[in-house]
Structure 1
Amino acid sequence: MKNRKKLTLFNDPIYGFITIPNALVFDLIEHTYFQRLRRITQMGMSYLVFPGAHHTRFHHALGCMHLMQKAVQVLRYKGIVISSEEEEALYVAILLHDIGHGPFSHALEHSLVTGVDHEQISLQFMEALNKNFNERLTLAISIFNGSYPRKFLHQLVSGQLDMDRLDYLKRDSFYTGASEGNINSERLISMLNVANDELVVESKAIYSVEKFLVARRLMYWSVYLHKTGLAAEQVLIRVLQRAKELISQGDQLQASEPLMFFLKRDSDVFEQEALAHFARMDDHDIIQALKGWCDHKDPVLSKLSNMILDRDLPKVKLKNKKPKKADVDKKRKALAEAWGIAIEDTHYFIFDGKVTNRAYRSDSENINLLSKNGKLIDVAKASDQLNLKALTQEVTKHYLCYPKAKHY
């Protein structure tokens, strides 16, 4: 068999050229599990609000690996010892940290696949790959799950100032056009250091950290929790809930084999068979199914499917208080009469819920600033901005979704 020439560069619109550091990383990128990320959108249904947001988990994973290379270089320059084995493990861990995402990223987590989140599925993928690669991912797995004794290595992969957040804020800002998230990731990385085996930031970068936290808050409210994107995500969840209900009643719906596996599945145990089907499922399975269900005899399934494909989404009201039950019941009764559907089916079209946002968790792994005299101080206490302390508080907003007036 002829050996393939191994690609060493990717041209990325955010960072320019991204290098592949070694053969193991190249082979992991080439693996079918990782290539699937080309078909998983980074921001779920957000492209219905921000037309440019069609970038994928593949883009994001490569960007994170690029930033990790920068971080390793900076920390070594400052005298932090990172072995070649730890370096390779860091690249593998950050490359694969999101490999467990399902179709449309977070949209279908805990609905299509229940009893397990994407971090747990990522770990299962990594363990499966570890067997295929002669246990060469063992160290990466221990860093990923936090069991490796050097804590700062895990924080580079998963923490409040990790390479994941540094990439997705900047990348999502670029593709959506929302300038609120355009952070200076290189500046932040250049100011990283390690103290007491924990990742810290040199105190002179306090304003860069402040901007990072404020940017994260603004991106959540203006982009990630945008009310129209939220409505689209909830409609998609309800499409699949209805499909599951119809299948349980004996309806012969059309769907791809991997998607049908999960539509028929009622177990919360994510076994090897589930992983094998999950590895073959991506955004295209969902879109294909929606197109097939648009003309289904069930009015609930067909209406929901068309709402997504035609972007004819529900109206959304965001409030500080939970909607009154009487108001919701009134809307459901009117819809049932207008559409001729059962009152119990109106919950697919009229529903409420809540979203929360906390930009900085000071009660867990803080972002500590390292002063010149070696003292550590939490960034929220060091900041002269009063609003930075406010970012440690969880903000909750309630929403009510219902069909637009033209449909009544």
Structure 2
Amino acid sequence: MKASNKLKIFNDPIYGFITIPNSLIFDLIEHRYFQRLRRISQMGLSYLVYPGAHHTRFHHAIGCMHLMKKAVDVLRFKGVKISEDEENALYNAILLHDIGHGPFSHAMEHSIVNNVSHEQISTYFMEKLNHEFNGSLTLAISIFKGDYHRPFLCELISSQFDMDRADYLKRDSFYTGVAEGNINSERLITMLNVRDEHIVVEEKGIYSVEKFLVARRFMYWQVYLHKTGIVAEQLLTRVLKRAKELTQQGYVLEASKPLQFFLTTDISSKGLDDDSLETFSKLDDTDILAAMKTWQYQEDFVLSHLCSMIINRDLLKIKLKNKPIKKELLEKQLKKLLERYPISEAEAKYFVFTDSISNQAYQSKKQRIQILQKSGRVVDISKASDQFNIKALSKPIVKYYICYPKV
């Protein structure tokens, strides 16, 4: 068989041409585990709010790898020693950091795959691939898990300014059309350096960091925590919970084999074994969409109405408050629904519920963004910045909401 050309180039709408750095990266991208990310939405059901937000986890992972290459080049130019093995491990880790995401990114974590985060599933996939690729991902897994003895390498994968955030803010801003969320990722990366084995940002990049934090706050309120998006994701989570509940009661719901498996199998904190991981690898957005298109005609009132709401974008009403929702308001809406339909209170609670959301653009007590001053002193961004906003961004803002039918 003729050997394939592994020096491929992607044409990305954000960064232009992206080259694949080595043959292992090519093989990982070609692997069916990674190709599945083409069928996983980067922003869940946010396209119900922002019609252009149809980009995928595949786009994002390739973009992160591109930015990681830029970061490695910048740090090496500044005299930071990064071995060839460490370089390749960084590319592998950032490429695969989201490989464990399920359909619509987060919905399954809170419904039919309980207490198993996408980070855990990503680790399972990386370990499986490591076995398949003869141990070539061992160092990447160590960096991904934060176990490697050089912390700055781990911080490039996961921190308050990592290549993950540097890509998704810019990419999500582009595809949603929310210009206020756009950041200059390349400028930020050129300002990176390392002191005492930790990532720092040179002082002349402080305004870019300020813009990054403000943009992140804006994107969370305007996009990731948009009230319509919250309703849609809550409905999707409830669809999957109801489907699993009915299946456990003996109902036979039409669904793909991978989805059937997770409806009938209890996956909890014990994690995924090889068989369930293999089945998970065959599950993507299309399984859920196809199921909902069928389930909207089910006899079960709850499942059919929840599916119909999502398919036809006829969602619940949502009200945001600065204070916890009063019990009286919740009971009032439950009573209205129970008077209108012959359903139980437990079934009504699928349509009437309360919860909260929080936004903290900068966590000053967790993996801080450190500024390297010209004097050589390293200080936290909240102290180095002359913007009062940065201190304000360090405070978590909590909002409460109630959802209920429109009529």
| Corresponding residue number in structure 1 for 2:21 | 21
Gaps in structure 2 of 5+ consecutive residues: none
Q: Equivalent residue for 1:327?
A: 329
Once the two structures are superposed, residues 25-79 of structure 1 have per-residue CA deviations (whole angstroms, 9 ceiling, x without a partner) of 0000000000000000000010000000000000000000000000000000000
In the other structure, the counterpart of 2:2 is: 2
**1:219-270 Cα distance to aligned partner (Å, 9 max, x none):** 0000000000000000011111111111111111111111111111224122
Paired residue for 1:153?
153
Q: Which residue of 2 aligns with 1:373?
A: 375
Q: Does 1:288 align with 2:293?
A: no
Q: CA deviation at 1:2?
A: 2.4
2:88 aligned residue: 88
Gaps of 5+ in 1: none
The alpha-carbon deviation at position 211 of structure 1 amounts to 0.3
Distance (whole Å) between structure 1 residues aligned to residue 289 and residue 267 of structure 2: 24
Matched, 1:107 2:128: no
Cα deviation, residue 88, structure 1: 0.5
Is this contact kept in 2: 1:130–1:136, CA < 8 A?
A: yes
Q: Which amino acid aligns with 1:348?
A: Y
| Aligned residue number for residue 354 of structure 1 | 356
Equivalent positions of 1:198-217 (< 5 A) are: 198-217=198-217
Query: Share of identical aligned residues, percent?
Result: 63
More off after superposition, 292-301 vs 1-10: 1-10
Aligned residues of 1:239 and 1:304 also touching (Cα < 8 A): yes
Alignment of 1:381-400 (within 5 A): 381-400=383-402
Contact map agreement 2:109 2:115 (CA 8 A) in 1: no
Matched residue type, 1:157: I
Superposed CA deviations along residues 332-353 of structure 1, whole A, max 9, x for unmatched, are: 1111121222222100101110
Give the match for residue 61 of structure 2.
61
Q: How many residues of Structure 1 are paired with residues of Structure 2 in the alignment?
A: 405
CA contact (8 A) 1:110 1:117 kept: no
Shift of 1:129: 0.1
**Whole-angstrom distance in 2 between the partners of 1:153 and 1:60:** 20
For residues 62 and 174 of structure 1, the distance between their equivalents in structure 2, rounded to whole angstroms, comes to 16
CA offset at residue 7 of structure 1?
4.6
- Distance in 2 separating the partners of 1:247 and 1:140: 39
Structure 2 distance, partners of 1:339, 1:305, is: 17
Instruction: Indicate the residue corresponding to 2:121 in structure 1.
Output: 121
Q: Distance in 2 between matches of 1:7 and 1:78?
A: 28
The superposition leaves residues 312-371 of structure 1 with CA deviations (integer Å, 9 ceiling, x where unpaired) of 000110001111112111111111121222222100101110001111111021101001
- Distance in 1 between residues matched to 2:237 and 2:267, nearest whole Å: 18
Q: Within 2, Cα distance between the matches of 1:150 and 1:267?
A: 34
Instruction: Look up the SS of the partner of 2:349 in the other structure.
Output: helix
For residues 182-225 of structure 1, the C-alpha deviation after alignment (integer angstroms, 9 at most, x for no partner) is 00001000000000000000011110000000000010000000
Q: Which residue of 2 aligns with 1:403?
A: 405
* Pairing of 1:36-55 with structure 2 (within 5 A): 36-55=36-55
Q: Is the contact between residue 40 and residue 104 of structure 2 (CA under 8 Å) also seen in structure 1?
A: yes
Quote the RMSD (CA, aligned, Å).
0.9
